[in-house]
Amino acid sequence: MDKETLSKYRADVIERFINVEWLINAIISQHYFKKVLLPFLLEVLYDEYFSFALKRRILEKIIKDIDNKKVQELNRLNTIRNYFAHCNQEIFEISDTKKERGKVIDPRNVQKEVNFEKLYTDFMNIAGGVEEYLAALYQGLGGLLEKE
């Protein structure tokens, strides 16, 4: 995969995941305050030390009948996001020094190369359903979605 395509995929995945995380933030705020309270979002939930895993765990606690399949899909989106955000170091074998691109090794299986094309496709196939589910949860708590 060329660098431009990988950069586009990386940007698409990370930016879309930010939106997924903001939906979770809105659900948490709506649950506790009956509205999206911007200072709470910015000062608490948006803090760099307030992890996605903690937000997901809170979501699981406050939504009593949460769809476990959607939680698994949410976890998959996060895993894919982490690949795009953190796996970028190209490895060159000594015999491959004339190649323009090296291999990005999969941290879960160092015998394999990361398949960014497949990860991107998986992310895009899952994201829409998760976003719709989260938006429905938010609206079910009384939250309003506006188009601008």
Strands ordered across the beta sheet of 90-91: 90-91, 103-106, 109-113
Judge contact between 85 and 77, C-beta under 8 A.
no
Q: E strand or H helix at 90, and its extent?
A: strand 90-91
Convert 96-118 into a string of H (helix), E (strand) and C (coil).
HCCCCCCEEEECCEEEEECCHHH
The rounded average pLDDT for each run of 10 residues, N- to C-terminus, in the chain (148 residues) is 85 96 97 96 94 97 96 96 75 57 58 81 98 97 83
pTM for the full predicted model: 0.84
Chain centroid to CA 37: 22
